Amino acid sequence: MICVLSGGVGAARLLRALSLVVEPTQLRAVVNVGDDLELHGLMICPDLDTINYTLAGLNNDVTGWGLAGETWRVMSELAALGGASWFSLGDRDLATHLYRTQRLREGATKTDVTRELSERFGVAVTLLPVTNDPVATVFDTAIGTLSFQEYFVRHHHDVVVRSVRVEGAREARLTPEAHEALSASASVVIAPSNPLISIDPILQIGDARALLRARRDDVVAVSPIIAGAALKGPADRLLGELGFAVSCLGVADFYGDLVGTWIIDERDEEHAETLRARGHRVVVTTTIMSHEADARRLAQAVLA
Amino acid sequence: MICVLSGGVGAARLLRALSLVVEPTQLRAVVNVGDDLELHGLMICPDLDTINYTLAGLNNDVTGWGLAGETWRVMSELAALGGASWFSLGDRDLATHLYRTQRLREGATKTDVTRELSERFGVAVTLLPVTNDPVATVFDTAIGTLSFQEYFVRHHHDVVVRSVRVEGAREARLTPEAHEALSASASVVIAPSNPLISIDPILQIGDARALLRARRDDVVAVSPIIAGAALKGPADRLLGELGFAVSCLGVADFYGDLVGTWIIDERDEEHAETLRARGHRVVVTTTIMSHEADARRLAQAVLA
């Protein structure tokens, strides 16, 4: 079994790539829930949904988020009513949130609902929310404190961030399933998701960090920074704002002694020696999965 | 000012009729909330919405409920996920529930949200939920205890009812606005809504019943039973099951000494003498509003 620490889009792509070379049933994703939000009374889990949708082949490749074949009737009517429509919820996507919210109200856990949704979507990878307890990633910014989605969607991550914290992390517990995946999988892969706001909110839960540190040699991380830039999202900007080098070295600094092996892009080969000098094994390969061949090569590098 | 005790469809039609002969701003509807429900995490207020939609001219005359021009994308996707889809929520209708739920989460009252929605829909009649406290009409039936919508929608009101009760009614308070409407309007009209499950859940709140009894001469009721049958819904069946005559006389028994004037249909003229003998004034007219002329005539009878 392989355990993948996962945010949204980047992790979904890595999981899809890994599914090309191993049985999907051998993959377990431990997924960030720090950007989950309640809106209009609905519980929305963007990272879990992105992964489910992507692995089901239902993701919208044009927008880079949401579902293919989506319609927007509810949102347009809500906007006409003067309702909060800054967080776009498609009609098809809304069905997921109605389903989840109803099941949570009936007493199901987020873990239960995620498993049910994966089954309905025909996804064979096991998706595990890192915790069923409430946590919320919060940004202290130049314009005040923002929730994750206020920062990310409402302000298009275009504000200066002073610090990031995960409210509730101290009290939250790993689910038994996430604990088992982190401790008993043959290897643990840190997906090329945003280290600061997708992966760290996983590492802050319970003894996640300690579990990885204790088995550092089995931990492989794929750098989300390539030639000084993030493929998607604000990881590069945030690293700089929070005092880290905007490179795979900065990410390595951030994760510290959790990672045994770094997988970095060919364009970052110059940093390989530095990482090796710090005690990491290093694999240099193409990490951008623009074609299936690239995805397969990256997956094989991760598994090797 | 005229105050109208209101359920859903029947009340909406009476309010539309009254709007033909008086300024809509002179009308205040005190509306049942006993069949409000939380589903998928959303707060749904069927009677308030039916009235708003009808007065806005957005009601669906074909189905007799919901909105014109409705689409069903979310529900069909939810059904595909195996979600609870027995209570049909159209895409357009869902926007109303998302709006309401979000505003309630922000601290607005049901009264506030109702006013906001009426404004957005361009409805000049004032709609007042009878209470902002939680109440729920519950049915003890031959197949067990059912919530209002389980009884009404899921089982198509096709089960034997042994008793009806309104949970929370004893603790619930009239809103100040509803209290004012009931006590200070020039007259109070009881709409031809279901007496047992639409009007009684209003009368059970706070001192609603006492307020009407104290001004019985100003209280006008329109019989919802015509020639032994309800125009719509299970009022006839329920009256029989709960031991009342299935006629305007049974309804008059149920309301008792609250009503000064009864408006009954021409087809029930035979009962006029009995009602007069019991101390009611009686107006006999066409109470089915199948044309605007009929609606106008009924409205004029009510106002006279």
Tens of pLDDT, residue by residue over B248-270, are 999 999 999 999 999 999 999 99
What b/e readout covers A130-159, taking b as 16+ CB neighbours within 10 angstroms? bbbbebbbbbebeeeebbbbbbbbeeebeb
Residues in chain A with CB shorter than 8 Å from the CB of B81 are: 95-96, 99, 117, 120
In this structure, how many other beta carbons lie within 10 angstroms of the beta carbon of residue B53?
A: 24
Report yes or no: B82 at the A interface, CB cutoff 8 Å: yes
pLDDT band at A261 (very low <50, low <70, confident <90, very high): very high
Look over chain B and give the mean of its residue pLDDT values, rounded to a whole number.
95
Choose the mutation target among A37, A42, A94 for the interface with B, i.e. most B CBs under 10 Å: A94
* Nearest CA among B70, B47, B67, B48 for reference residue B57: B67
CB A226 within 8 A of CB A288: yes
For residue B40, give the nearest of A91, A92, A102 by CB distance: A102
Report yes or no: A246 at the B interface, CB cutoff 8 Å: no
Q: What is the Cβ-side half-sphere exposure of residue A104, based on CA atoms within 13 angstroms?
A: 22
Q: Quick check: A83 and B98 CB within 8 A?
A: yes
What is the value of pTM for the model shown? 0.91
B263-272: Cβ within 8 A, 24+ apart: B263/B220, B263/B221, B263/B222, B263/B223, B263/B287, B263/B298, B263/B301, B263/B302, B264/B223, B265/B223, B265/B226, B265/B227, B267/B226, B267/B227, B268/B223, B268/B225, B268/B226, B268/B227, B271/B247
- Give the strand pairing for A219-222 and A261-265: parallel
C-alpha B248/C-alpha B272 separation (Å) is 9
Beta bridge partners of B247: none
For residue A91, give the nearest of B73, B99, B102 by CB distance: B73
What pLDDT shows up at residue B31?
98
CA end-to-end span of chain B: 14
What pLDDT shows up at residue B41?
96
For A120, the closest chain B residue by CA position comes to: B81
Q: Which of residues 161-200 of A touch B (CB under 8 A)?
A: none
C-alpha A17/C-alpha A294 separation (Å) is 9
C-alpha A125/C-alpha A55 separation (Å) is 8
* Nearest CA among A50, A12, A53, A9 for reference residue A29: A12
C-alpha B192/C-alpha B175 separation (Å) is 23
What pLDDT shows up at residue B291?
85
Mean pLDDT of B206-230: 96
Q: Quick check: B41 and A39 CB within 8 A?
A: no
Q: Quick check: B84 and A102 CB within 8 A?
A: yes
CA end-to-end span of chain A: 14
Least confident of A113-117, B60-64, B223-227: B60-64
DSSP code string of A93-133: HHHHHHHHHHHHHTT--HHHHHHHHHHHHT--SEEEESBSS
Tokens 């994750």 -> residue:
A148
Mean pLDDT of A96-122: 97
State the amino acid at position B164 in one-letter form.
Answer: V
Report yes or no: A78 at the B interface, CB cutoff 8 Å: yes
Beta bridge partners of A264: A284
Measured in angstroms, the CA of A234 and the nearest CA of chain B are apart by 29
pLDDT band at A64 (very low <50, low <70, confident <90, very high): confident
Report yes or no: B70 at the A interface, CB cutoff 8 Å: no
> In which order are the strands placed within the sheet that holds B161-167?
B144-147, B136-141, B161-167
Report yes or no: A281 at the B interface, CB cutoff 8 Å: no
Tokens 């409210």 -> residue:
A167
- The answer, yes or no, to whether residue A278 has pLDDT greater than 80, is yes
Structure tokens at B65: 């409920």
pLDDT band at B302 (very low <50, low <70, confident <90, very high): confident
In this structure, how many other beta carbons lie within 10 angstroms of the beta carbon of residue B65?
A: 18
Inter-CA distances, A67 with A98, B77, B135, Å = 16, 12, 38
* Nearest CA among A151, A152, A148 for reference residue A168: A148
Choose the mutation target among B74, B97, B102 for the interface with A, i.e. most A CBs under 10 Å: B74
CB B7 within 8 A of CB B221: no
CA B64 to chain centre: 14
Q: What is the pLDDT of residues B81-121, one digit of tens each?
A: 999 888 999 999 999 999 999 999 999 999 999 999 999 99
C-alpha B8/C-alpha B27 separation (Å) is 16
pLDDT band at B208 (very low <50, low <70, confident <90, very high): very high
B56 — phi, psi (to 5°)? -80, -5
Residues in chain B with CB shorter than 8 Å from the CB of A78 are: 95, 98-99
DSSP code string of chain B: -EEEEE-SHHHHHHHHHHHHHS-GGGEEEEE--TT-EEETTEEE-HHHHHHHHHHTT-B-TTTSSSBTT---HHHHHHHHTT---SS---HHHHHHHHHHHHHHHTT--HHHHHHHHHHHHT--SEEEESBSS--EEEEEETTEEEEHHIIIIISTT-S-EEEEEEETTTT--B-HHHHHHHHHSSEEEE-SS-IIIIIHHHHTSTTHHHHHHTTGGGEEEE-SEETTEESSSSHHHHHHHTT--SSHHHHHHHHGGG-SEEEEEGGGGGGHHHHHHTT-EEEEE----SSHHHHHHHHHHHH-
- The answer, yes or no, to whether residue B63 has pLDDT greater than 80, is no
CB B109 within 8 A of CB B62: no
Choose the mutation target among B52, B70, B73, B101 for the interface with A, i.e. most A CBs under 10 Å: B73
Name which CATH class applies to B2-140+167-303: alpha beta
* Nearest CA among B150, B255, B115 for reference residue B195: B255
What pLDDT shows up at residue A291?
85
DSSP code string of A222-263: E-SEETTEESSSSHHHHHHHTT--SSHHHHHHHHGGG-SEEE
C-alpha A299/C-alpha A17 separation (Å) is 6
CB A104 within 8 A of CB A42: no
Report yes or no: A86 at the B interface, CB cutoff 8 Å: no
C-alpha B304/C-alpha B298 separation (Å) is 10
User: Sign of the CA dihedral B90, B93, B97, B103?
Assistant: positive
Report yes or no: B45 at the A interface, CB cutoff 8 Å: no
Q: What is the pLDDT of residues B109-155, one digit of tens each?
A: 999 999 999 999 999 999 999 999 999 999 999 999 999 999 998 89
For A39, the closest chain B residue by CA position comes to: B102
For residue B95, give the nearest of A78, A96, A104 by CB distance: A78
CB A127 within 8 A of CB A52: yes
Residues in chain B with CB shorter than 8 Å from the CB of A102 are: 39-41, 83-84
Q: Which of residues 88-127 of A touch B (CB under 8 A)?
A: 91-92, 94-99, 101-102, 104-105, 116-117, 120
Report yes or no: B78 at the A interface, CB cutoff 8 Å: yes
